[in-house]
Structure 1
Amino acid sequence: MKPFFKSIFRTSLCLFLCYYSATYAKTAIYDTKYEKPKDSLYRLIGHEYSTTRLSEFVNVFSGAKNSVARISKELEGLKVIKLPLSDGIVKAGSIKFNVKNSCYLLIGIFRDSAAKTNTSSLERIDYGKGRLTKEPLIKNAMSITGLPDIDIYAIAYKSGTHSLKWTDNLFMILGAVQSLKDIKHRDGGCPDGRLWDPFIIEGFTAKKALFEVVEGPEQPVLDVGMEGAQDIQGGFEGGVCVKINGVYHMFPTERAGEKGMDYTYDRVKTRIGHWTSKDAVKWKRKSTVFQASGTYAITHDDNPLNDRRGAIWSYMPVFNDKTDTWYGYYLTYTVDKDIAPNHSFGRIWRTESQTKGIEGIGGPYNEGVVIMEPGLDTQLWEGRQGVDSFFPFQINNKEWLAFYGGAYPYQSFKDYPDKPGKGWFIGLAKSKSPEGPWTRMDTTINPIKTIHPWFIENPIVYKLSADCYITIFDGGPLSRDGYNWTEATYIPIETKVNKWWDIMRTPMCLIDEGNDMFTIVYAAINHNKRFHPIGKVKVKLNREVLKNRTDLIKH
């Protein structure tokens, strides 16, 4: 599924919405040794530039989505001036400001990883009567999405009126501090911001949030050693959760692994579990729906000699009203030890519950039939990983669409099987019924890149209103027709929930609880643990924002 290096893209950031659809004001937390910056240190004179407080997630430029992914503690709470950014450049401009008492104006200079100094950028700034420090105070002080490393310098200004001018440049004006005694010369260790693509974060980049984070447990709801999880080595990833007659039913991918085996085997010997809960907090394991063989392939191509059920992932139950039956859509892989990705040639199966009615969600289920697999109609973007997810949803009360995924794309069919590229994409398939047959839409539509240009995985679709759908994965885009989707936006849930995770992994549901309240159950990663836990959060939908955003969507 998702290799570790790719997960850095989402580290500590968000939850979801298409989104990616991430308004919350995050209050900066100050260490007692740092004095909270005061607004009175400087005052802009006659300028249209807006300001905002520096914190994680904050959008730091006007006219752009670039936001703070990492920040050194000393900088939190500073009043940054939001300069306009276009095509990666702050166009020539100036500010005029008044200083009541002597202070230091902090600026951030973006430095390409290959550059040893910031001389060029520093020379494009006229500091007026100010005096620039010779060396940066903090190197690698912040990570701004989509932009290079940033070093922090200080400009000393005495009381009075001052000006600062610049030619085309890439820099920030972070705000002012009274003294430099609490800012130690050091390397902040923040990574290059180009590890992240710029994206929309609810309440920060977006003016008003579609979903407000309300509350969530301060720790995982399902963790290592808990009842039912004792024999699961690697925790959980992906799957779905639904609510039926007051009971939550969760079907996560269990990274079962095997005792005595390396942690990498957790992603190979997987199974689909069925868990239930009355509050989405206390869970009870009911059964194993499917178990992978955990057997590695013996050839590198999609060969029948290989065990094509080496790993099993991403179970998605959908109720069919016409047949009064639960269908389960799930994914099987050939597992290769030597070629990335080790999950290859994915196939989608449709299974049926042997117990009729809405209460039959627990099964038992038959093995089912393959409904989508690598073949002559495979598109290059589906890549070596093959069909890596599948979620069907109905539109217009008659037609069925399905998001299906692919990864490690081929540039040409000559690259098959061992020269894949990188990227995780989704496309649409179409059918007259949930049984199929399913037909891939052509490459004038697939892959869908409006949501995100290179990373979408395991999307689940819900209807928020009569004329608006949302798909959640790591973000949450909107659509009016199921075909055309907005850019993803992300929800930073740690603004209201104690952050016990390092990487937000996979949201598994958006369950309507009434009164515009929704429950999200999600898998996450703590780097200190082999076990990937499950968390929970509640969010509240803003109907006014939904209407405004829906009105802007073309269909």
Structure 2
Amino acid sequence: MIKTRYIFILLCTLGCLLGVAQNSNQSWKAGSFKIVEGNYETFKTTQYAHVFKGSKHNIVRLAPELEGLTGIKFPLENTESLKLKFKESVKILIGVFKEQDSNIKDLINAKLVLENGLTITGLSPVNVYAIPYSRGTHSINISGLFTILGVVKGNETLNFRNAEFPDGNLWNPTFIVEGFSDEKPLFDIIGGQNTPVVDEGMPGTEGIQGGFEGGRCVKVGDTYHMFPTERAGEVGVEAYYDRVKTRIGHWTSKDAIHWKRESTIYQASGTYAVTEDDNPMNDRRAAIWSYMPVFNKKANKWYGYYLAYTVSKTIDPNHSFGRIWRCESVVDGIEGIGGPYKDVGIIIEPGLNSEPWEGRQGVASFFPYNVGEDKWLGFYSGAYPFKTWDDYPKKTGKGWFVALAESNSLEGPWKRLDASINPIKSMHPFFVENPIVSQLPDGTYIAIFDGGPDGWGHHLPNMMAYSLSKDGLNWSEARYWPIETKVDKWWDIMRTPLCLIPEGNDVYTIVYAAIDLEKRFHPMGIVKVKLNRDVLAECVQKL
């Protein structure tokens, strides 16, 4: 009986301790304040919050204790005075960059409450200090680079802990998050599905072990046609093979939410290479990806552009020496979109005109778009670059680059533009993947693409992105869509958008592929965005 009582007391004590630990990680209660001197704006302290006026620095990691507080936005080099008025006793939470720690440690009553409490892109680790202030008006005098993350009630218990968030300098360069910068958002995220629209176990997913990746979705009449890369793999074979044994599927929907699988457009062999170089002994169609259907009005038929890889079993990355194939629909007219398709030939591939930045993956995607009468440009890409050709075929670096080719017709021949243009680094200096181009109502070109993962050892935005161009040749710096602010985040790693389909009233549909790390199967999602034409006019003036 006594033993049972001791166990009961121990469990209660443990439960109380766990409760304290859990409560310590909950949001601290905000205190009220008023800015009475200084031309400052406020921000909500949350992920992606833009903390410095005139900069691109954003919060990408944040302790839950700080979530939802109201911060004060300073210029990076702040010279203005700041006076705050409090109706009650409070504690101001100051985010101090580690090399500036000595400035705040000298202040009386400054208490460290969160070590490595948040991560801000492009800046050093941030420690959070609490400084008490009594009721009334106070001048806030702190030297050096810092940020005010919020004000909490004076009686709030602030338990110290090390949140262990990483150095913001790992996110280099900084990036612009739509709706979280000094610039007005071009698109408002207006909603979407809070769960995947095509997921494991749904009709049509039989035989697909690893889910989906990029491709294109188009709307013909009232029907959506989606051509994703199906990471088919094989039953009983490890997940890595899902990206080798691939196929291109054709799916249709009336609402972009409920999908029906119609057919297989192409099936890859899944055969591994026998040599490490780009050798015709290898199966150069071992993996097939990124099918892009484009309607050719002159030929009155659909053209398909897709990527075929050689696949290595021993070299990372396993996708090597990409080639872009063109095919044509057998059935004429817009209704021929579902195929069947016949191959015409390779339009661009590794060769004497390749540049070292194209790397081991070779030509890793392709998308053509019209820029005038009988004038076409096409985005093509490369990845895992060689520093020089002496590094071929094994010694690669990191980078996912895009460039432009040109042609007088969709049939080709396609010619790479020269090194004065390629690769295009104005969008992002080292990561743009699978761009798809369309035009906005005023004729401005827009490219949407995968902005890169915050995972697998990378520190990239982990969001879909867009870039604008007046002429299709010169492209603006990328803006990234934080769609999880309006849609429940069911993914860990965001991947590739398949479309930006106009639905009327300036609303657009985006179908996208993403990854839930707890699942082998990579699902598809959908989100809706709305274009702001006034902001578009302002953006175009700056291009």
Q: Which amino acid is 1:131 matched to?
A: N
1:529-544 alignment, distance < 5 Å: 529-544=519-534
Superposed, 1:349-360 pairs within 5 Å as: 349-360=325-336
| 8 A contact 2:24–2:158 mirrored in 1 | no
User: Residue type matched to 2:537 in 1?
Assistant: K
Paired residues of 1:127 and 1:164 also in contact (CA < 8 A): no
Q: What does 1:391-540 correspond to in 2, within 5 Å?
A: 391-473=367-449, 474-540=464-530
Cα deviations across residues 223-243 of structure 1 (Å, max 9, x unaligned)? 001111021111001000000
Question: For the residues of structure 2 that align with 1:91 and 1:411, how far apart are their CA atoms?
Answer: 41
Q: Partners of 1:402 and 1:461 in 2: how far apart?
A: 9
Residue 37 of structure 1: aligned partner: 30
Structure 1 portions without partners, runs of 5+: 1-29, 112-119
User: Is 1:187 matched with 2:195?
Assistant: no
Q: What is the CA-CA distance between 1:208 and the residue it aligns to? A: 2.2
Q: CA deviation at 1:152?
A: 1.3
Q: Return closer, same or farther for 1:194/1:32 CA change in 2, 3 Å cut-off.
A: closer
State the SS of the aligned residue for 1:348: strand
Give the drift of 1:60: 0.7
Cα distance in structure 1, aligned partners of 2:163 and 2:24: 16
Q: Paired residue for 1:132? A: 110
Q: 1:433 to 1:188 in 2, by over 3 A?
A: same
AA of the residue aligned to 2:214: G
Cα offset, 1:34, TM superposition: 4.1
Contact persistence 1:268–1:311 (CA under 8 A): yes
Q: Measure the CA separation in 1 of the matches of 2:96 and 2:115.
A: 10
Alpha-carbon separation, structure 2, partners of 1:358 and 1:390: 22
Is the contact made by 2:29 and 2:152 (CA closer than 8 Å) also made in structure 1? no
**Matching of residue 323 in structure 1 with residue 265 in structure 2:** no
Matched, 1:103 2:81: no
Instruction: Please report how far the alpha carbon of residue 423 of structure 1 lies from its aligned counterpart in structure 2 after TM superposition.
Output: 0.5
SS of aligned partner of 1:124: helix
Show the counterpart of 2:101: 122
When Rg is computed on C-alpha atoms for both structures, the one with the higher figure is 2
Give how far 1:189 is off. Answer: 4.0
Task: Return the alpha-carbon distance in structure 1 between the equivalents of residues 284 and 325 of structure 2.
Answer: 12
Aligned length: 506
Residues 265/179 of structure 1: CA separation in 2 closer, same or farther (3 Å cut): farther
| Coordinate RMSD, CA, aligned | 2.0
**Cα distance in 2 for residues equivalent to 1:284 and 1:378:** 40
How much does 1:175 deviate?
2.1
- Structure 1 residues 91, 410: closer, same or farther in 2, change over 3 A? farther
Structure 2 CA distance, aligned partners of 1:431 and 1:540?
A: 33
Counterpart in the other structure of 1:48: 39
SS of residue matched to 1:142? strand
Q: 1:310 corresponds to which residue?
A: 286
Matched ranges for 1:17-36 at <5 A: 34=27, 36=29
Structure 1 residues 109 and 244, CA gap change in structure 2 (3 angstroms) = same
Cα distance change of structure 1 residues 175 and 363 upon mapping to structure 2, 3 Å threshold: same
Q: Counterpart of 2:242 in 1: which secondary structure?
A: helix
1:171 aligns with 2:146: yes
Q: Give the gaps of 5 or more residues in structure 2.
A: 1-22, 450-463
**Residues 424/180 of structure 1: CA separation in 2 closer, same or farther (3 Å cut):** farther
- How far the C-alpha of 1:141 sits from its partner, in A, is 1.7
Post-superposition Cα deviations, 1:506-546, rounded to whole Å, max 9, x if no partner, equal: 11000011111111100111111111100111111111111
Q: Secondary structure at the match of 2:101?
A: helix
Paired residue secondary structure (2:405): strand
Task: Show the counterpart of 2:52.
Answer: 61
2:129 is paired with a residue whose SS is strand
Correspondence for 1:20: none
Structure 2 counterpart of 1:153, from 94, 117, 129? 129
In the TM superposition, residue 163 of structure 1 has moved relative to its aligned partner by 3.5
CA distance in 2, matches of 1:323, 1:296: 37
Task: Tell me the secondary structure at the aligned position of residue 132 of structure 2.
Answer: strand
Contact residue 507 and residue 523 of structure 1 kept, 8 A: yes
Instruction: Give the Å deviation of 1:32.
Output: 11
Distance 2:155 2:397 in 1: 47
Q: Secondary structure at the match of 1:494?
A: helix
- Letter of the 2:541 counterpart: D
Structure 2 residue 248 is matched with structure 1 residue 258: no
User: 1:371 is matched with which residue?
Assistant: 347
How far apart, in 2, do the equivalents of 1:522 and 1:403 lie? 19
Matched with 1:116 is none
Q: Is the 8 A contact 2:50 2:180 kept in 1?
A: yes
Instruction: Give percent identity, aligned residues only.
Output: 56
Q: Which one of the candidate residues 83, 86, 92 is aligned to 2:74?
A: 83
Instruction: Report the more deviating stretch, 512-521 or 465-474.
Output: 465-474
CA shift at 1:298, angstroms?
Answer: 1.6
- Which residue of structure 1 aligns with residue 181 of structure 2? 205
**Deviation of the 1:91 alpha carbon:** 5.7
CA contact (8 A) 2:25 2:64 kept: no
Cα displacement (A) at 1:99: 3.8
Q: Distance in 1 between matches of 2:500 and 2:73?
A: 34
Q: Is this contact kept in 2: 1:125–1:165, CA < 8 A? A: no
Residues 33 and 182, structure 1, Cα contact 8 Å, conserved in 2:
no
Q: Distance in 2 between matches of 1:123 and 1:92?
A: 19
The TM-score with structure 1 as length reference comes to 0.87
Equivalent of residue 73 in structure 1, options 64, 76, 84:
64
TM-fit CA distance, 1:416 = 1.0
Instruction: Choose 431-440 or 482-491, whichever is displaced more.
Output: 482-491
Equivalent in 310, 316, 319 of residue 334 of structure 1: 310
Asked if structure 2 preserves the Cα contact closer than 8 Å seen for 1:325 and 1:358, the reply is yes
Match in the other structure for 1:283: 259
Post-superposition Cα deviations, 1:442-467, rounded to whole Å, max 9, x if no partner, equal 00000111111110010000010343
Q: Is the 8 A contact 1:127 1:163 kept in 2?
A: no
Contact 2:37 2:81 in 1 (8 A): no
Alpha carbons 2:32, 2:87 under 8 Å: kept: no
| 3-state SS, counterpart of residue 82 of structure 1 | strand
**Any conservation in 1 of the 2:27–2:66 contact (CA below 8 Å)?**
no
- Tell me the TM-score normalized by structure 2: 0.89
1:35 Cα deviation from its structure 2 partner: 5.5
Tell me which moved more, 488-497 or 419-428: 488-497
**Counterpart residue number, 2:458:** none
